C-alpha cells in the first residue's frame, strides 16, 4: 500500500512541476489575445478575441516575418558552426597530447569568467575596422569559439569516445579529419544535441549584439524588432505579446526535436554498455 502512496505522491509532484513550467507559456498565449487596456488592468486567465487585431498592428509596426527569417538564418548557421568547432576543439584536447595542453585548456575555461558585455566596445571597433558593421558576420563568426562548448565536448570525449576506435580508423588509413567526421561525431551525438540547444537559444534570444551591429531595419533580428514596439511614452502590449509568441514557438519546437536526440543517444549508449 505504501508503494502506491509513494508513487501517487511522486506523480502529483511531477504534475505540479509540469504545470509550474507551462504556466508562463499559457499566460503568454492568453495575454496575446487581449486588448492593451485589459493587459494593463486585469489578471487574464481565459482567452480573448483580439489576437488577429494585435497581430495586424504588429505587422504594421515592424516587418516581423523578415525579422523571423533573419533570426532563423543567424541562429541555424551560428549553431552549426558552434557545435562543430566546439566538438573539434574538445576532441583535440581530449585525445591529443601536446605541449601546454592543460594550460591552454585552463586558459580557455578562464575566458568563461569574463562577461561578454565588457568587450562590446572593442568588438564594435574591431568590426568597424574590418568593415563588417551592418552585416551578419559579427553575429556568426564569434560562434567558432565557445569555452563552455569546448569544456562539454572534452568531458564527453574523455568518457565516451574510446581510443581503440581512433586506432582502428588510423589502421584503416583514415586521416585525422576523416576519423573525427566519420567516427567521433556520431558517438558524440548526445553532447552535440545538448550544446546545440544552448547555442540555438542563446543566438535566438541575442539582443545586445544585433542592436549594436545592425543599422538596417530589414536586417534586424526578432528580439530587436519586438523591443522596438516599446517607445518612451507608449507600449503596445498586445502586439508585443504576439511577437513574443512568434518568437518562442520555434525555440520549443527546436528543443523538443533535439531533446529526443539526447534521449535516444543516451539510451543507445546504455544498451551498448
Q: How many CB atoms lie within 10 A of CB 234?
A: 9
Which tens digit of pLDDT belongs to each residue from 195-219? 998 899 899 999 999 999 999 988 9
The confidence band for 268, taking pLDDT boundaries of 50, 70 and 90, is very low
> Would you state the pLDDT for residue 68?
93
CATH code for the structural domain at 62-228: 1.10.3720.10
> Would you state the pLDDT for residue 263?
54
The confidence band for 267, taking pLDDT boundaries of 50, 70 and 90, is very low
Query: Which residues contact residue 16 at a Cβ distance below 8 angstroms, ignoring those fewer than 6 apart?
Result: none
149 within 8 A of 83, measured Cβ to Cβ: yes
Average pLDDT over every residue of 241-251: 88
pLDDT above 70 covers a percentage of the chain that reads: 93
- Domain boundaries of the chain, sorted by first residue: 62-228
DSSP symbol at 230: B
Q: How far apart are CA 124 and CA 40, in angstroms?
A: 38
Amino acid at each position: 500500500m505504501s508503494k502506491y502512496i509513494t508513487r501517487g505522491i511522486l506523480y502529483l509532484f511531477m504534475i505540479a512541476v509540469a504545470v509550474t513550467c507551462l504556466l508562463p507559456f499559457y499566460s503568454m498565449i492568453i495575454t496575446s489575445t487581449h486588448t492593451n487596456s485589459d493587459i494593463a488592468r486585469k489578471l487574464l486567465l481565459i482567452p480573448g478575441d483580439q489576437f488577429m487585431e494585435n497581430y495586424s498592428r504588429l505587422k504594421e509596426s515592424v516587418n516581423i516575418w523578415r525579422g523571423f527569417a533573419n533570426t532563423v538564418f543567424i541562429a541555424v548557421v551560428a549553431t552549426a558552426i558552434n557545435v562543430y568547432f566546439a566538438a573539434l576543439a574538445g576532441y583535440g584536447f581530449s585525445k591529443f597530447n601536446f605541449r601546454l595542453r592543460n594550460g591552454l585548456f585552463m586558459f580557455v575555461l578562464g575566458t568563461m569568467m569574463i562577461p561578454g558585455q565588457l568587450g562590446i566596445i572593442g568588438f564594435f571597433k574591431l568590426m568597424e575596422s574590418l568593415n563588417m558593421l551592418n552585416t551578419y558576420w559579427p553575429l556568426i563568426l564569434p560562434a567558432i569559439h565557445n569555452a563552455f562548448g569546448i569544456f562539454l565536448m572534452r568531458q564527453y570525449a574523455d568518457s565516451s569516445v574510446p581510443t581503440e576506435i581512433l586506432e582502428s580508423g588510423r589502421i584503416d588509413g583514415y586521416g585525422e579529419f576523416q576519423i573525427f567526421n566519420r567516427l567521433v561525431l556520431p558517438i558524440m551525438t548526445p553532447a552535440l544535441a545538448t550544446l546545440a540547444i544552448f547555442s540555438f537559444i542563446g543566438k535566438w534570444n541575442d539582443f545586445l549584439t544585433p542592436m549594436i551591429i545592425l543599422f538596417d531595419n530589414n536586417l534586424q533580428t526578432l528580439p530587436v524588432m519586438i523591443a522596438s514596439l516599446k517607445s518612451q511614452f507608449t507600449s503596445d502590449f498586445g502586439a508585443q505579446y504576439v511577437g513574443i509568441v512568434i518568437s518562442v514557438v520555434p525555440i520549443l519546437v527546436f528543443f523538443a526535436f533535439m531533446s529526443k536526440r539526447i534521449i535516444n543517444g543516451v539510451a543507445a549508449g546504455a544498451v551498448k554498455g
